[in-house]
């Protein structure tokens, strides 16, 4: 069997060798297909206009003139709403300039007239019969006004190539009238679930039925979408060797530069009907490893097709499939694309004695995290009953990886040294 460290190095190397990293594509920011979600910019973004593009009101209230004097009242001469035309604003601005006792009602986000000194919010004034009869004594010039270009100017560099396309980025791009943007290429991902025992969503399942509902493809898809891999399709195959060979054969790519990621769920162990390894061999897929020294997920398979597709053979049990996906594909993708570094958390001494590790195996244990006052995270294990116990993940933040070596190290620590630091892998879609 392959050790975890070596298996990960193989996966990362193969992902890194795909042509995806030299390719770009444009995505639309104004649809709801999530194709732009968590992608990486492939171009610098330069501001096309000032932000704000004009002086705007930051509160609902009244705009007072630069010629304002502390009178006993102010006459309201009009109203400016967000979105009003230039002509409306200019007309009221000229009227305000002619008198010292004029005020204009103005709404949040509305353009501020040139002759406006400040905006006083409604909460600080009293209006009666189109007159402001009470207002504060001390009004500061420019209060509650965002001047044009105060956030950034046209021509400023807003985002650099290689930065993430996320919530804080998309809003700025759209405000600049940028509706399509170049991003890193996203390969197609095909999820292939296998097994006669799987009931598809549209199928009826009786209470006493011995089949189980399909959940793996959708849980895995959520993790992939949160990672920015949005071109996902799903195929289910029965435990029939001929049907499986035909189905997998159809999705194997032949076009250079369009290599796929194919996630095969189930059928990779040593059962009588676990046909996936045999089928892949017949399809001339190069097996890079099969079976890894880890629990859960020992049957993990990884290979490369003649066309360069990457094939991940994930165990069928939900916890195994999800943890293997996170430990290898998600980790390698995040490291190569975002430079994500290994995260370590503390696994307290109190939990060491609970561990029942098998020698030479790495164990993946779901955990909840708590932040200590000193700023580091402590992991609390949530032990599943078995590798199909999906409910064990409820409320967890991710999982830790504990090797036999780390357990031996923990036994060598002195009683006063209670910190054992272990690798932590957070769920992408928390």
- Between 43-47, 73-77, 355-359, the lowest mean confidence (pLDDT) is in 355-359
d(CA 125, CA 325): 60
> What is the tens place of the pLDDT at every residue in 159-214?
999 988 888 899 999 999 999 999 999 999 999 999 998 888 888 877 677 888 88
pLDDT number for residue 417: 58
Going 425 to 188 to 335 to 179, the CA torsion angle's sign is negative
With contact defined as beta carbons under 8 Å apart, do 193 and 312 qualify? no
- Between 16-30, 200-214, 319-333, 335-349, the lowest mean confidence (pLDDT) is in 200-214
- Between 148-162, 326-340, 415-429, the lowest mean confidence (pLDDT) is in 415-429
Q: Locate 253 and state its tokens.
A: 């790519």
pLDDT number for residue 353: 65
User: CA dist 299 to 2, 11, 268, 281, Å?
Assistant: 11, 15, 6, 16
Asked if residue 249 has pLDDT above 70, the reply is yes
Q: 354 versus 154: which is more confidently predicted?
A: 154
Give me the mean pLDDT over the 358-378 stretch. Answer: 83
d(CA 240, CA 245): 9
| Architecture of domain 56-146 in this structure | Beta Complex (2.170)
Give the chain's end-to-end CA distance (angstroms, integer): 32
pLDDT number for residue 120: 94
pLDDT number for residue 47: 97
Domain 4-23+189-338 class? alpha beta
Asked if residue 427 has pLDDT above 60, the reply is yes
> What is the tens place of the pLDDT at every residue in 122-165?
999 999 998 998 888 788 999 999 999 999 999 999 999 998 88
User: CA dist 148 to 57, 67, 158, 283, Å?
Assistant: 11, 21, 17, 63
Give me the mean pLDDT over the 27-48 stretch. Answer: 89
d(CA 316, CA 69): 78
Torsion region of 397: left, alpha or beta (phi above 0 gives left; psi -120 to 50 gives alpha): alpha
| Architecture of domain 343-426 in this structure | Beta Barrel (2.40)
Q: What is the pLDDT confidence band of residue 221, given thresholds at 50, 70 and 90?
A: very high
User: CA dist 100 to 105, 293, 418, Å?
Assistant: 15, 83, 73
Q: What is the pLDDT confidence band of residue 309, given thresholds at 50, 70 and 90?
A: very high
Asked if residue 407 has pLDDT above 80, the reply is no
Provide CB contacts within 8 A for 412, sequence distance 6+: none
Asked if residue 356 has pLDDT above 80, the reply is no
Paired sense of beta strands 421-426 and 131-134, if any? unpaired
pTM for this predicted structure: 0.84
Q: How far is CA 417 from the centre of its chain?
A: 37
Provide CB contacts within 8 A for 333, sequence distance 6+: 15, 227, 229
Q: Do domains 56-146 and 343-426 have the same CATH topology?
A: no
Asked if residue 81 has pLDDT above 90, the reply is yes
pLDDT number for residue 338: 83
Provide CB contacts within 8 A for 61, sequence distance 6+: 105, 106, 119, 120, 121, 122, 123, 124, 125, 144
pLDDT number for residue 354: 67
Measuring CA to CA, which residue among 225, 189, 168 is closest to residue 427?
225
d(CA 135, CA 149): 29
With contact defined as beta carbons under 8 Å apart, do 306 and 281 qualify? no
- Residue 109: how many other CB atoms lie within 10 Å: 15
Domain coordinates in residue numbering, the chain: 4-23+189-338, 56-146, 343-426
Asked if residue 69 has pLDDT above 80, the reply is no
Beta-ladder partners of 369:
379
């Amino acid at each position: 069997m392959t050790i975890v460290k070596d298996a990960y190095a193989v996966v990362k190397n193969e992902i890194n060798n795909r042509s995806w990293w030299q390719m770009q594509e444009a995505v639309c920011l104004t649809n709801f297909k999530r194709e732009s979600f968590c992608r990486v910019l492939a171009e610098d973004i330069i501001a096309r206009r000032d932000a704000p593009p004009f002086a705007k009101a930051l509160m609902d209230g009244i705009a007072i003139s630069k010629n304002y004097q502390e009178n006993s009242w102010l006459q309201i001469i009009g109203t400016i709403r967000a979105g009003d035309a230039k002509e409306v604003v200019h007309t009221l601005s000229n009227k305000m300039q002619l008198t010292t006792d004029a005020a204009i009602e103005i709404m949040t986000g509305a353009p501020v007239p040139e002759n406006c000194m400040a905006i006083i919010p409604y909460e600080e004034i009293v209006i009666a019969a189109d007159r402001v009869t009470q207002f504060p004594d001390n009004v500061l010039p420019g209060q509650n006004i965002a001047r044009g270009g105060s956030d950034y100017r046209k021509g400023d560099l807003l985002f650099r190539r290689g930065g993430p396309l996320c919530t804080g980025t998309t809003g700025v791009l759209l405000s600049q009238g940028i509706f399509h943007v170049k991003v890193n290429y996203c390969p197609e991902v095909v999820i292939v679930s296998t097994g006669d025992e799987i009931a598809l969503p549209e199928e009826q399942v009786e209470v006493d039925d011995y089949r189980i509902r399909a959940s793996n493809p959708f849980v895995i898809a959520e993790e992939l979408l949160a990672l920015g891999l949005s071109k996902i399709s799903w195929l289910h195959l029965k435990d029939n060797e001929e049907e499986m060979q035909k189905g997998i054969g159809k999705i194997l790519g032949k076009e250079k530069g369009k290599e796929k990621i194919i996630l095969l769920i189930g059928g990779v162990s040593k059962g009588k009907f676990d046909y996936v390894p045999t089928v892949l061999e017949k399809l001339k897929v190069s097996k890079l490893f099969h079976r890894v020294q880890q629990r859960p997920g020992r049957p993990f398979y990884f290979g490369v097709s003649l066309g360069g597709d990457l094939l991940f053979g994930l165990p069928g049990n939900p916890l195994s499939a999800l943890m293997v996906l996170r430990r290898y594909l998600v980790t390698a993708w995040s490291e190569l694309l975002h430079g994500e570094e290994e995260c370590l958390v503390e696994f307290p001494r109190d939990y060491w004695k609970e561990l029942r590790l098998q020698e030479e195996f790495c164990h993946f244990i779901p955990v909840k995290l708590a932040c200590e006052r000193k700023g580091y995270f402590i992991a609390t294990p949530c032990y599943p009953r078995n590798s199909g116990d999906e409910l064990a993940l409820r409320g967890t933040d991710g999982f830790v990886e504990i090797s036999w070596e780390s357990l031996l190290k923990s036994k060598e620590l002195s009683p006063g040294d209670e910190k054992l630091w272990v690798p932590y892998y957070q769920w992408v879609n928390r």
